[in-house]
Amino acid sequence: MLWEIGGSSRLLWDLETFEAASLLREIGYTHFELWAEWPKGWPRNMSREDRTRLRRLLTDLGLGISVHATFRDLNLSSPNPGIREESVRQVVESVQLAADLDADIVVVHPGRLASSRDDPREAWNLLIESLRVVVREAERLGLKVCVENMDARPKEIVRTPGDLRRLVEEVGSKSLMVTLDAAHAGTVGDPAEFVLSLSDLVAHVHLSDYSREKLHLPLGRGELDLLRFLRALRDVGYAGVLVVEGYFPPRTKEVALESYRVLMKALSEER
């Protein structure tokens, strides 16, 4: 198979982390992405023993590992220094968690405007400063930080391929790459065109479907042209992981299986 198929712990957020990893492997997933969020994956809530146990379990299951850095209620572009410093601190802690789990990649959400009245130029400059701190820790630990493209909501400042390329160039580190979120891209433009525009920068991919009304639908239930998106990834030589995302209570197990089957069918047709 060309790519590893990953499942986010968010897919099975109703289960404990260890149970979620085991079930995803049973379904057929070969990679596990831990959401570093309260309460289950939050770095400050994971003891040294918890980290060791999880690392050993993933090794025993033959699962690769990546970490989605904490982002809820955080903002790397906040004009409030206290909020921004705490946001940087918690993202750095996610990088350190990733290192403890032997992960290679940490997914990071970029900052955003705190208010529609904020100056986007100031928010951008603060984001650059924040990411440089995060990336320095990633460089020290030998990890890649992969900043994620966001959806078309008005306060987001990193949405287009041009935004992502500029961000990587201005931070100026080989340890900073891109996580391409197909559903987010679909609210801004054509996800396949995102792939072609960012071919040299994409080191990680998030997969879920989307509609005009809702993001992160199960694969096959929205507007994403999955086959075209996969062909674009193949054409640019993408060699990373495809991580399926979403949260669909109360049918989390069924949807994790459904999305896996839809993806595997598309991969068989893509060849």
Rounded CA gap, 165 and 155, in Å? 19
Average predicted confidence (pLDDT) for the chain: 96
Rounded CA gap, 112 and 115, in Å? 9
Of 169, 197, 78, 161, give the one whose Cα is nearest residue 126. Answer: 78
pLDDT of residue 189: 97
Return the amino acid letter for 87.
Answer: S
The phi-psi region of residue 150 (left if phi > 0; otherwise alpha if psi is between -120 and 50; otherwise beta) is beta
Return the amino acid letter for 137.
Answer: E
Give the pLDDT band of residue 197 (cuts 50, 70, 90): very high
Give the pLDDT band of residue 213 (cuts 50, 70, 90): confident
pLDDT of residue 126: 98
Give the pLDDT band of residue 2 (cuts 50, 70, 90): confident
Weakest mean pLDDT among 72-76, 142-146, 149-153, 245-249: 245-249
- 9 DSSP assignment: G
Cis status, amide bond into 250, omega within 30 of 0: yes
Instruction: Tally the domains of the chain.
Output: 1
Phi, psi of 39 (to 5 degrees): -100, -15
> What is the value of pTM for the model shown?
0.97
Give the pLDDT band of residue 212 (cuts 50, 70, 90): confident
Rounded CA gap, 139 and 112, in Å? 24
Cis status, amide bond into 110, omega within 30 of 0: no
Tokens 């990679």 locate to 31
Rounded CA gap, 194 and 188, in Å? 10
**pLDDT tens digits for range 139-189:** 999 999 999 999 999 999 999 999 999 999 999 999 999 999 999 999 999
Of 145, 148, 27, give the one whose Cα is nearest residue 7. Answer: 27
Q: CATH code at 53?
A: 3.20.20.150
Q: Is 153 within 8 Å of 113 (Cβ atoms)?
A: no
**pLDDT tens digits for range 97-135:** 999 999 999 999 999 999 999 999 999 999 999 999 999
Burial zone of 254 (CB within 10 Å; 0-12 exposed, 13-18 middle, 19+ buried): exposed
DSSP string, 150-163: P-S-TTBS--SHHH
Greatest extent of the chain over all pairs of C-alpha atoms, in Å: 51
Return the amino acid letter for 259.
Answer: S
What is the rounded average pLDDT of the residues 60-67? 98
DSSP H helices in the chain: 17-27, 48-61, 81-100, 120-141, 161-171, 182-186, 191-197, 226-235, 252-270
Virtual torsion, Cα 259, 265, 269, 271, nearest 10 deg: 80
Domain encompassing residue 251? 4-270
